[in-house]
Amino acid sequence: MNAELEKILTDYMVLAQKESAILGAWKFGSISRGLDDALSDVDLVLLIDGSCFSHADDLAESILKKVCAGIVLRWEEDFNSGAIHNNGYLIRTPSSLSHFDLFLLNQEQTDDPMCRIHYTGLKEEHILFDRREAVKSLCYNSPAGELWRADRDRLARTYLYHFAMSAKYLLRQDYFKLYPVLHTLYETHASLLLTEYDAIPWGGPQNKLQYIPLEKQAHLKRYVCLEDLTQVRENLRQSLAWFQEDATELGESAEPINAVSVFWSSLLQ
């Protein structure tokens, strides 16, 4: 991350350690993996005393107000619950705007699945401070994470069902129904590739997709719903060929793919 955000994070931690309700803190996201760069934002996890969790948002935000030039907005994740709050902030820095994401974990509910995601692979070197070794105890029980797992047969059937559906929307020139179909095709093809190429046991698909071959990354970028539906049709024609190549390499039957290809081409003649 850039020097301005580094200072804000350092100043934040100085004040956070003075609050007894905050039991500890650790780095999350790219900064915890050594993958951050000058454009990276802050992902900070705070472990909150369960008896204080109801007002943890206000406490965490009050500290942020003191160390940045101002808060432009706060955005709350839909999954926020009594176990975890993930609030993303857009803050003012001396020269620009930056993202500062706070993940607040209720110490009394750290077994919650969403909480566990936020200390998967946690190691002592990620810890920024720890009151009474509350965070260190999470290190000992940290989930190891896992590589991408999905049912390849179901992925293939999902892909082909929706690919066949795309033909009628192309014929109708119905951009708004075609758009979500293309998104489904992208996610399904990406998931299929991850079952073979995933190399990291942490993070979401956006992190994991970096490990598939560059040529196949380029293939995934064709699933975009352009205003020019003639180009979308050509992209889909090529994408099905690439999907067939990937699926058959991974042991899926070519027969249903061929059937969908014939149907799709005949309908769009």
252 has pLDDT over 90: yes
pLDDT of residue 37: 63
State how far the Cα of 26 lies from the Cα of 14, in Å rounded to an integer.
13
pLDDT of residue 35: 59
Q: Can you tell me which residue has the tokens 């107000």?
A: 65
262 has pLDDT over 70: yes
- Which residue in 22, 39, 7, 54 sits closest to 132, CA to CA? 22
- Global pTM reads 0.86
pLDDT of residue 86: 96
pLDDT of residue 160: 97
- Which residue in 53, 64, 134, 57 sits closest to 92, CA to CA? 64
pLDDT of residue 34: 61
pLDDT of residue 73: 97
Q: Can you tell me which residue has the tokens 């892909």?
A: 159
pLDDT of residue 33: 63
Identify residue 81 by its one-letter amino acid code.
Answer: S
pLDDT of residue 40: 73
pLDDT of residue 39: 61
Query: Please, which residues bridge with residue 44 across strands?
Result: 27, 102
DSSP 8-class letter at 131: S
Q: Considering the chain, what is the average pLDDT of its residues?
A: 94
Q: Degrees (nearest 5) of the Cα angle 2, 56, 37?
A: 15
Cβ contacts of residue 235 below 8 Å, gap of 6+? 222, 223, 224, 226
32 has pLDDT over 60: no
Q: Token pair for residue 23?
A: 């039991």
pLDDT of residue 31: 62
13 has pLDDT over 60: yes
The 10s digit of each residue's pLDDT in 189-223 is 999 999 999 998 888 899 899 999 999 999 999 99
Q: Can you tell me which residue has the tokens 């650790």?
A: 26
pLDDT of residue 202: 84
Cα 121 to Cα 35, 116, 201: the distances in Å are: 15, 10, 9
pLDDT of residue 30: 63
pLDDT of residue 84: 97
Read off the pLDDT band of 2 (50, 70, 90): confident
pLDDT of residue 28: 85
CB atoms inside a 10 Å sphere around CB 149: 9
- The rounded radius of gyration (Å) of the Cα atoms in the chain is 23
pLDDT of residue 36: 60
- Which residue in 205, 178, 207 sits closest to 192, CA to CA? 205
- Which residue in 217, 216, 239 sits closest to 166, CA to CA? 239
pLDDT of residue 269: 83
pLDDT of residue 42: 86
Cβ contacts of residue 67 below 8 Å, gap of 6+? 8, 11, 12, 15
65 has pLDDT over 80: yes
For the chain, the maximum distance between any two Cα atoms, rounded to a whole number of angstroms, is 70
pLDDT of residue 38: 72
The 10s digit of each residue's pLDDT in 117-172 is 999 989 898 999 999 999 999 998 889 889 999 999 999 999 999 999 999 999 99
Query: DSSP 3-state helix, strand, coil percentages of the chain (rounded to 5)?
Result: 55, 15, 30
